[in-house]
Structure 1
């Protein structure tokens, strides 16, 4: 998406009524012919853009796509959309190598989606598959907090869609009642000893997906009775992630966590840790109270051993 297109979308979304061609041209620093060309491109993309003597006004927005997600998006990200991709994280990595930042790669469907530990991630049509590319001024040791921030962002989007979502440490978003999986987060990065070069936070969320298209252990916003609006869901994830300061992430994560207070079994690179999950520590480590004292687990595969 061109910078001119994004600024035009922002101007139209912020307007209370029609905006004249000359006013848009002046705001965007382009000719009136360029404004008309971009408006026609929006119409071809599915926007209902009315025009009369007073100017241009958006009356309808397409269900999904780059322009639809960018329209009214309250976060400074460029949006790239593909109907189908092997992996949005892989495409975001290509953009990172090219020097891009503050980009979101979105796919209508993934053919090679993956989760943590390289597990396959079911990515049928109707889900929200998005990878956010950022370059935070942080050391690599702080990267786990961005994974937790993404889990909080997805949980908030689910709740705004009418679904009671909770977080299982570190990054699985579950339906509270059944603890079936609604979404997951996969974070990748490249950096030096003291600085992150780039960070990609990939989100896979089951939004407008029928229950029969998902594994038995999963569910979707639609199947749980929520509002399955992929466009708004994707926007809310991006906005919530962008607006969440790393220092505020852990309190927000605790508010949504279902793991704390539970008996857990965590498979870590150094062995199994079993006990009661009692807290999280910055940048996202789980504190497990065992018979031998508290253990701080920085990475591992967590299993809940008893119901909430």
Structure 2
């Protein structure tokens, strides 16, 4: 967001301020102040005029300036009403050298999950892909995936949803006491790097937010269905803030993940290219791998599709 507009919004948030006062404080002309005010109104900021000056009445918009306003994390926002894939756009930005950019779309027409599975992404959901350039090795990259899940689950819980995490990064809502669940969030992490460093990393996060559950795929749920509609602007802001919190403190990721885990203690089946693993999920290592106690001993799983099984 333009720094002058950011300063104007900050001033208006504290109460009515006249145009001449703003012009003097910001060392710009009154005409420039008026132009910035009109551009902010065009961006759907509710700015009222009164004899006492301008005042910010509310921020109901869902766009880049609105998300950036009040965001306490170092991300710039690129917003699209419609986009084929936020991850694809984030990859293009990353290839051009972008850093700390969050690509947000009101809807995706070609959203995807792991293994190129289709992900329904209509208007009303939260579809965001975050570009980072972390100073980590590829072996540490799974921690960013776990951090994405922790951040999203934390914010969903703030919204009143009983959000938990199924290994490694599905945010789900428990159903009953046998490990069943409904899927709330999908996360797709992509990266590029060399053997000793990561060039860039993208955390793509899709949240079924203000959507009717009966329009979602079988086994899915939404924030609306679980706790009512949320302010998507605030949800994205908090998501970015929590993600930033954990990416700057990787030692805190696994303990926070374990606190929110639904998988630990469950009997699971993990499908891998080399074959399936069946047993009890007992722990997650400091690098994010899952430890499964099988009939033949403990096995460490670094990747695969994890399914909760009913207790024997």
Question: Same fold by TM-score, threshold 0.5 exceeded?
Answer: yes
Pairing partner for 2:252 from 237, 241, 248:
248
1:128-139 matched pairs, under 5 angstroms: 128-139=126-137
Q: Unaligned 5+ residue runs, structure 1? A: none
Match of 2:264 in 1: 260
Residues 23 and 133 of structure 1, relative CA distance in 2, 3 Å threshold:
farther
Match of 2:122 in 1: 124
Residues 30 and 188 of structure 1, relative CA distance in 2, 3 Å threshold:
farther
Contact 2:159–2:227 under 8 Å retained in 1? no
Deviates more, 1:223-232 or 1:140-149: 223-232
Match of 2:228 in 1: 226
Q: Could you tell me how far 1:50 is from its partner in structure 2?
A: 2.7
Pairing partner for 1:190 from 185, 189, 192:
192
Q: Could you tell me how far 1:26 is from its partner in structure 2?
A: 7.3
Match of 1:171 in 2: 169
Contact 1:145–1:246 under 8 Å retained in 2? yes
Match of 1:237 in 2: 239
CA distance in 1, matches of 2:257, 2:197: 24
CA distance in 2, matches of 1:17, 1:130: 32
Match of 1:286 in 2: 290
1:26-59: CA deviation from partner (whole Å, max 9, x where unpaired): 7767655444322211101211113456654311
CA distance in 1, matches of 2:223, 2:164: 13
Residue 46, structure 1, aligned to residue 50, structure 2: no
Match of 1:89 in 2: 87
What's the secondary structure of 2:82's corresponding residue? coil
What's the secondary structure of 1:258's corresponding residue? coil
Pairing partner for 1:202 from 190, 204, 208:
204
Residue 65, structure 1, aligned to residue 70, structure 2: no
Contact 1:162–1:227 under 8 Å retained in 2? no
1:108-139: CA deviation from partner (whole Å, max 9, x where unpaired): 10010001111111111110000111111111
CA distance in 1, matches of 2:4, 2:299: 52
CA distance in 1, matches of 2:44, 2:311: 47
Deviates more, 1:291-300 or 1:27-36: 27-36
Residues 28 and 286 of structure 1, relative CA distance in 2, 3 Å threshold:
farther
Contact 1:161–1:228 under 8 Å retained in 2? yes
CA distance in 2, matches of 1:35, 1:204: 38
Contact 1:88–1:110 under 8 Å retained in 2? yes
Residues 137 and 4 of structure 1, relative CA distance in 2, 3 Å threshold:
farther
Q: Could you tell me how far 1:179 is from its partner in structure 2?
A: 1.0
Q: Could you tell me how far 1:208 is from its partner in structure 2?
A: 0.2
Contact 1:6–1:70 under 8 Å retained in 2? no
When the two structures are aligned, how many residues end up with a matched partner?
306
CA distance in 2, matches of 1:115, 1:291: 32
Residue 275, structure 1, aligned to residue 279, structure 2: yes
Q: Could you tell me how far 1:275 is from its partner in structure 2?
A: 0.7
Match of 1:98 in 2: 96
CA distance in 1, matches of 2:27, 2:129: 31
* TM, length-normalised to structure 2: 0.90
* TM, length-normalised to structure 1: 0.91
Match of 1:36 in 2: 34
Contact 1:167–1:253 under 8 Å retained in 2? yes
Residues 32 and 241 of structure 1, relative CA distance in 2, 3 Å threshold:
farther
What's the secondary structure of 1:289's corresponding residue? strand
Match of 2:77 in 1: 79
